[in-house]
Each structure stands twice: as C-alpha cells, then as structure tokens.
Amino acid sequence: MAAPFELTDDNVVVIIGTGAGGGVLANELAQKGVSVVALEAGGRYLPEDYVNDEWESFGQLAWTDTRTTSGDWRVARDFSNLPAWIVKAVGGTTTHWAGASLRFQPHEWKAFTTYGEVEGANLLDWPIDADEMDPFYARAEDKLGVTRTNGIPGLPGCNNYKVFEAGAKELGYKEVHTGRMAINSQERDGRMACQQTGFCFQGCKWGAKWSAAYTDIPAGEATGNLEVREKAHVARILHDDSGKVTGVEYFDANGDLQMQRARVVCVAGNSFESPRLLLNSASSMFPDGLANSSGMVGKNYMRHLTGSVYATFEQPVRMWRGTTMAGIVQDEARHDPSRGFVGGYELETLSLGLPFMAAFLDPGAWGREFTTALDSYENMAGMWIVGEDMPQESNRVTLSDVEDQFGLKVANVHYSDHPNDIAMRDHAYKQGAAIYDAVGATRTLPTPPYPSTHNLGTNRMSERPEDGVVNRNGRAHDVPNLYISDGSQFTTGAAENPTLTIVALAIRQAEHIASEMNQGAL
Ligand SMILES: Cc1cc2nc3c(=O)[nH]c(=O)nc-3n(C[C@H](O)[C@H](O)[C@H](O)COP(=O)(O)OP(=O)(O)OC[C@H]3O[C@@H](n4cnc5c(N)ncnc54)[C@H](O)[C@@H]3O)c2cc1C
Ligand code: SF4
C-alpha cells in the first residue's frame, strides 16, 4: 500500500474517479513512477463482498445520488431520477459491466467523413484514427485478457447463446460467436476461469471477469506510487491566476471539506459527473465552467442506441444460467445506408434475472400481456441492441436547480432520439424478433431502453478548440494541466461497447502525461 501523500503535495497527479478510465490511468501512471492520488466517491467492494441478488447488489454498488432528466426519451418517463446505471465504488462501473470488449471499426473514427452531413446531428471526425489506436487496443486486450485475442479461446455458449446462434444462422448471419469478452476462459493473471454462474452484472464473485477494482487498482497501489482515497467526493477543481489547475476540493468520508493540491488533474467520473464537475468549477476567470470557452462542456451526450428483444419458447431456456452477455451477431455493425440509417449496431445476448425483468420488460405495464410474459420467464431468451446514436448539441448535461447531499448542483440530463436512432432501433427490433421467430418463438417482446449504461460524449475530443473540450490526448483545449480520461471524451460513439476504447485511450494518455512530465512540460 502506498504511504499517504500530503494534502499539500503539489507534485501529485490527481485522478477523479477510479473506473475504466481513471482506474487504468492510475495504475499505468503509477507503474511509470508517477505519484498519483485517486479520489473515488464510492467505497471499496471486492469479490467476497458482491451479492448475487439484483436489487441488493444495485443498492450496494450503483450511483443513486439524485439526478434530473428531460427530453422525449422513454428513460425520462420510466426512470426520471435514474437516467443512468453507473457504479459508485472503487473500480467504477467495471464492477457491473458484462465484459464485451470490441474495437471500433476503422471508419467509425471518421464518422463525419464517412456518413456525411446528417441533418440535426453534430457529427465530427475524431482527431485520431484506427492505425494510431491499434497498438493501444492491443495492450488493452492483453490487459483485460479479452477472449478471441492473443490466442485466448472463446467462452462456451450457454443456452441463451445456443438459441440466439441457431436463429441468427437460420437468418444467414455469418459473424456469430460467443464474443470478445474480458472474462477469463482459462486461468490468467492469477484469476480463475469463468464458472458460468451468471450474475456478472452484480460483480463477479470469482474474479474471472476483469474489473479495475481487483486488477489495476491493487497493482498500482503495490508500486507505492498510488494512493486511492475512497468515499472522497470531489466538489470542484481549483485554478490559479494563470488559468492552470492547482488542486481539488473534496468531501472526505466524514463529510469534511479537504483540499488536495495537484500538478495535473485528470477527470474520470463518467459522462454525467465529469461535465457536472467542470460546470460546478466555474470561476470569475471561467464563468461558464472550467474548460468551457467553446460552450461544448456537457453537449453531445450519447448513450448508444439501445433496446432489447426477449422471446418465449415452448421449452425452457433458463437464460440466467451462464454469462450474462454470452454472444454476439456483428453482421449489422457495418455502415450501410441502404437500410435507411447511417452507422450500425450489434446484437448481443442478454439475460436479466426475474426481479430486473419485472422492472424493465415494460415499465409501468400491468395486466395479462405483461404477467403472462413473466410467467414464461423460464422459457425466455433475450438479446440487447447496441448501436451508434447521433451526437446532438441539444442532448446535454447541464446543472439542475436541485442540490445533492453536499449542496452541489446535480446533473440534469436532456436526451431526445434523433430520427436516425429511431430508424436503426426499428430495424434492430425487426431483426432481433426474426432471429427468435426463425427458431420457433411463441412470442417476441421488444423492450424499451434501460437507464443508460454507456454514457459518452459531453467533453468531446476535437481537432479545433471551438468544436470540443479536449484535444487528441484528452487534454483540455483551455487548460494545459487538465485532462479528461473517461468515456466523456468520445467524439462519436461507434456501434461497439465502449470500455475497451476507454481503456486503450487511458493507456495512451498515461504515455503522454508521463512523457510531458519527464520533459518538464507539465
Ligand atoms: C450493467 C452494465 C453492463 C455493462 N456492460 C458493458 C460491456 O459489456 N462492455 C462495455 O464496453 N461496457 C459495458 N458497460 C459500460 C462500462 O461499464 C462503462 O463504459 C465504463 O465503466 C465507463 O468508464 P468511465 O471511466 O467513463 O466511468 P466509470 O467506470 O463509471 O467510473 C467513474 C467513477 O467515477 C466516480 N466519480 C464520479 N464523480 C465523482 C466525483 N465527483 N468525485 C469522486 N469520484 C467520482 C464514480 O463513483 C465511479 O466510480 C456496462 C455498464 C453497466 C452498468
Ligand atoms: S458467469 Fe463467469 S464472469 Fe459472470 S459472474 Fe459468473 S464466473 Fe464471473
């Protein structure tokens, strides 16, 4: 364990949040000899603490502080103060995640060039591309032990996958397999192989699934260069008269306000909390919020086009047995505007337990339609749709008038679907239902989006300062020693689950920060 750093130590890199972005960045910097203080709003929970019970686990790990919601998305109606499902704990949402680990397709780094002008969308090319990211993806896959990379075998398919695979092949889909998963299919890195017990979303009790909580964070701490302060909620980022950041104020586990000085600050609080923190850090020098001279902080919130399709069959499927996300169809991920929309989507099996199914199948529903579906739970199979949604300036995080337990303004999240999102979702609902119909479904159940699990944009990366918040290294255009290190730096969302890309960007950013520090440029 690292010896505690002094609050007055202005040589440390302060990282806010310890999830996919912050947790990996903290370890990568610590391995390079950089002193790091990571401040995490949540507590520390390890495999022995996880509970295989959906709602109890949600209560243990999820971020349940108030948020407010607006816009015409259905989430605003169904879950108005829970727009996102993210975690507040050491390791962040990598405790809850399913482990699907896909690279962007090369053209997705250049969405504006590839798709052209899309009315109402604020498409932009990333300032980096597939060739540049290739070595960092390779390191991320190795770190996470992603199946089907580096000679690691795929996971076996559970029943939910077998039904899905048979239907997909019947329809003629070719790219169908048990996924690229950050779940050990064989012992690796001192962690055991997956036991197929299910409950991946509740934290993997076997440690087979990669989570920063029990991989990168303890590895960083073991160097003596990383100190993680848990239950430390950062309230604002401070700066000097030259506009450089100098430290952060945070509420510690006792609710007392502390000030930690810093040489560099990296924000990795997920796509609602990161812009909220910049906006709450407004000052006379930065009246619209820190790093916000472009007015882009909080804008272009993306959440991936989502939805699910469940289906019932005459025979039991028992989809809850085995990995929660057990396989994928990638044929629809291509960009093919002849389908009536730009960009693409993935179909991935998903299983919810009965308690979550009752809450999410059709929120607010009652009556025979709904109860007979739940009666058929044992005979149900299911999949999730994840596709590229359009960035729109009007989809944004702003400060609400509501305050949290610390008296800080909470995030309001405004989101409305773009017509491209609606066209893509309709296509995916049809294809999903066709997969199950092809193998004799007795009923198919298109299911509306859940609270957002993939939260992206809001501090987007851009070549020109006027188009975004950070540059190609995640460094704020306006503030030379302030970085964004999480999914909020995404310029566009691509069709793939985002975490492998967040991790690859964090590895890349660590190289950049360490090199700038060595050269005395930071
Ligand atoms: C159920 C579920 C399944 C998922 N499955 C997949 C999947 O299969 N594949 C995939 O790619 N992605 C998946 N995801 C998404 C994935 O978990 C996220 O993309 C990823 O964790 C985001 O990383 P991040 O660094 O942006 O934020 P997070 O991992 O959410 O970390 C943010 C951290 O910052 C902390 N924080 C926030 N504000 C403050 C503050 N003011 N002070 C101190 N700390 C703060 C939070 O407590 C949190 O710990 C899933 C998510 C969920 C919920
Ligand atoms: S199914 Fe595998 S990855 Fe999921 S919780 Fe069980 S052991 Fe972990």
Provide the Cα torsion 307, 62, 24, 105; round to 10°. Answer: 0
Residue 280 inside a domain? The answer is yes
Q: Which atom of ligand 2 is nearest to the CA of 203?
A: 5
Distance 21 CA to ligand 1 centre (A): 8
Mean pLDDT of 491-500: 98
Please report which residue ranges of 3-73 form alpha helices under DSSP H.
20-31, 54-61
Distance 153 CA to ligand 1 centre (A): 27
Distance 142 CA to ligand 2 centre (A): 19
Q: Quote the CA–CA distance of 154 and 177 in Å, as a whole number.
A: 8
For a pocket test of ligand 2, which of 49, 185, 195 has the largest count of ligand atoms closer than 8 A to its C-beta? 195
Q: Which residues pair with 66 in a beta bridge?
A: none
Q: What secondary structure letter does DSSP report for 500?
A: H
Provide the Cα torsion 388, 411, 269, 456; round to 10°. Answer: 10
Residue with CA nearest ligand 2 atom 2: 194
Q: Which residues pair with 238 in a beta bridge?
A: 247
For a pocket test of ligand 2, which of 53, 61, 200 has the largest count of ligand atoms closer than 8 A to its C-beta? 200
pLDDT of 189 reads 92
pLDDT of 364 reads 81
For a pocket test of ligand 1, which of 54, 249, 499, 505 has the largest count of ligand atoms closer than 8 A to its C-beta? 499
pTM over 0.85: yes
Q: What secondary structure letter does DSSP report for 191?
A: B
Residue 255 inside a domain? The answer is yes
Q: Which atom of ligand 2 is nearest to the CA of 322?
A: 1
Phi/psi region, residue 57 (left: phi>0; alpha: psi -120 to 50; beta: rest), is: alpha
Distance 196 CA to ligand 2 centre (A): 5
Residue with CA nearest ligand 1 atom 9: 100
CB 176 within 8 A of CB 333: no
Distance 318 CA to ligand 2 centre (A): 16
Q: Coil, helix or strand for 137?
A: helix
Please report which residue ranges of 171-320 form alpha helices under DSSP H.
216-222, 270-280
Residue 3 inside a domain? The answer is no
pLDDT at 1 over 80: no
Mean pLDDT of 190-219: 96
Find the domain containing 441 and state its range.
13-35+72-518
| Model confidence band, residue 81 (pLDDT cutoffs 50, 70, 90) | confident
Q: Hunting for tokens 């401040």 — which residue is that?
A: 39
What is the CA angle 380-444-387, rounded to 5?
95
For a pocket test of ligand 1, which of 37, 54, 61, 97 has the largest count of ligand atoms closer than 8 A to its C-beta? 97
Residue with CA nearest ligand 2 atom 8: 204
Closest CA to 485 of 157, 266, 214: 266
Closest CA to 290 of 227, 342, 232, 245: 245
Residue 339 inside a domain? The answer is yes
| Model confidence band, residue 358 (pLDDT cutoffs 50, 70, 90) | confident
Q: Quote the CA–CA distance of 188 and 383 in Å, as a whole number.
A: 28
Residues 6+ apart with CB under 8 A from 321: 158, 159, 196, 198
For a pocket test of ligand 1, which of 86, 251, 458 has the largest count of ligand atoms closer than 8 A to its C-beta? 86
Number of domains in the chain: 1
Residue 61 inside a domain? The answer is no
Per-residue pLDDT tens digits for 25-54: 999 999 999 999 999 999 999 999 999 999
What is the CA angle 398-65-384, rounded to 5?
80
CA 200 to chain centre: 15
Residues 6+ apart with CB under 8 A from 428: 305, 307, 309, 332, 345, 347, 385, 387
Mean pLDDT of 322-349: 97
Separation in Å, CA 246 to CA 26, 50, 243: 19, 37, 9
Distance 268 CA to ligand 1 centre (A): 9
For position 259, which CATH number holds?
3.50.50.60
pLDDT of 77 reads 81
Tokens at 360, concatenated: 């999410």
Angle between the N-to-C axes of helices 499-518 and 130-144, in degrees from 0 to 180, rounded to the nearest 10: 100
CB 144 within 8 A of CB 210: yes
pLDDT of 428 reads 98
Residue 57 inside a domain? The answer is no
Q: What secondary structure letter does DSSP report for 50?
A: -
Residue 67 inside a domain? The answer is no
How many residues are recorded in the chain? 522
Q: Coil, helix or strand for 246?
A: strand
Q: Does the CB atom of residue 234 touch ligand 1 within 6 A?
A: yes
Find the helix or strand (DSSP H, E) in which 499 lies: helix 499-518
Q: Does the CB atom of residue 208 touch ligand 2 within 6 A?
A: yes
pLDDT of 83 reads 83
pLDDT at 322 over 60: yes
Residue 52 inside a domain? The answer is no
pLDDT of 513 reads 98
pLDDT at 3 over 70: no
| Model confidence band, residue 359 (pLDDT cutoffs 50, 70, 90) | confident
pLDDT of 365 reads 82
pLDDT at 2 over 90: no
Q: Does the CB atom of residue 198 touch ligand 2 within 6 A?
A: yes
Distance 425 CA to ligand 2 centre (A): 29
Separation in Å, CA 429 to CA 224, 310, 316, 423, 447: 50, 10, 23, 10, 9
pLDDT at 283 over 70: yes
Q: Does the CB atom of residue 293 touch ligand 2 within 6 A?
A: no
Mean pLDDT of 95-120: 97
Render the burial of 380-395: b for 16+ CB within 10 Å, e for the rest: bbbbbbbbbbbbbeeb
Q: Which residues pair with 87 in a beta bridge?
A: 62
Mean pLDDT of 403-427: 96
Tokens at 92, concatenated: 């962040």
Q: Which atom of ligand 1 is nearest to the CA of 325?
A: 8
pLDDT at 347 over 60: yes
Distance 5 CA to ligand 1 centre (A): 26
Distance 333 CA to ligand 1 centre (A): 23
CB 81 within 8 A of CB 66: yes
Q: Which residues pair with 349 in a beta bridge?
A: 383
Distance 25 CA to ligand 2 centre (A): 25
Per-residue pLDDT tens digits for 432-446: 999 999 999 999 999
